[in-house]
Structure 1
Amino acid sequence: MLRDRGRIKWTSMMLPEHVKLLREWAEEDKYETAREFDEQELEEMNQLLEEAILTEHPVTLTYFKNRQYKMVTGWIHKVDPYQQTLHIKSEDGENVQIPFLYLDHIEL
């Protein structure tokens, strides 16, 4: 029976820089990419945002930040058209600022 030591036998032949690059490369596989929208999806998101602002319903927003999708639930506090950001007052009292470009999904 052959007792293979797996990766241990190869690390002595690798430079530390190579080991570091391999670890970073493996970490990049966990990254997600932002999706692109067509005009119809953007219009639907715009209508949901308008409805949430007018009725003051809580919304659940999914947005893309730091190569990951994140969710926040709360009320739309302010829309800043100049900086193109959406200010959300979350359920736990935290103020979250989300750029329009990073919005992915809206639920009432």
Structure 2
Amino acid sequence: MNDEFYEPVFDLSKLQDRGNKKWVAMMLPEHVSLLREYGKEIKREPIPELDEWDYDAIQHTLDMAIKSKADTKVKLWRDGAFFYNRGIVESVDLRRRVIELEDPFSLLQLKLDEIVDVTIID
């Protein structure tokens, strides 16, 4: 027999782990639901803190978009997630605190308090 040290080689690429399935059987349904809620909360985006300069830039961009009837992208923050809408800004109603954005399918009313960023698309 050969005196060399023999080391077995394992192919780890064929190893298939069951992931969380193997642990779910040992957990109570309450624990599973709490883990799912925790996972959703981790994915939440924090609300961006806008200062006076940011609000001024948003107002200036909205004014330009209304005057030029340009295609505009509006970024909103709602319930921990960012949403994007694209269209032509028709009007800004400061009493109701909404803007009216006309996209190809409908006329949307977006709340001014949810707006994070406004960009004019060339």
TM range (shorter): 0.7 to 0.9
Q: Over aligned residues, Cα RMSD in angstroms?
A: 2.2
Poorly superposed stretches of 4+, deviation over 6 Å: none
Matched, 1:24 2:24: no
Q: Unpaired runs of 5+ in structure 1?
A: none
* 1:106 aligned partner: 118
* 2:54 aligned partner: 41
* 1:97 aligned partner: 109
Matched residue type, 1:61: V
Matched residue type, 1:82: R
How far off its partner does 1:9 sit? 4.8
Q: Unpaired runs of 5+ in structure 2?
A: 1-16
* 1:50 aligned partner: 63
The superposition leaves residues 54-75 of structure 1 with CA deviations (integer Å, 9 ceiling, x where unpaired) of 1211211111123211111111
Matched residue type, 2:92: V
Aligned length: 106
* 1:76 aligned partner: 89
* 1:88 aligned partner: 101
Q: Distance in 2 between matches of 1:85 and 1:37?
A: 18
How far off its partner does 1:104 sit? 1.1
Distance change in 2, residues 1:11/1:60 (3 Å)? closer
Q: TM-score, normalised by structure 1?
A: 0.83
Matched residue type, 1:54: K
Q: TM-score, normalised by structure 2?
A: 0.74
- Identical aligned pairs, as a percentage? 28
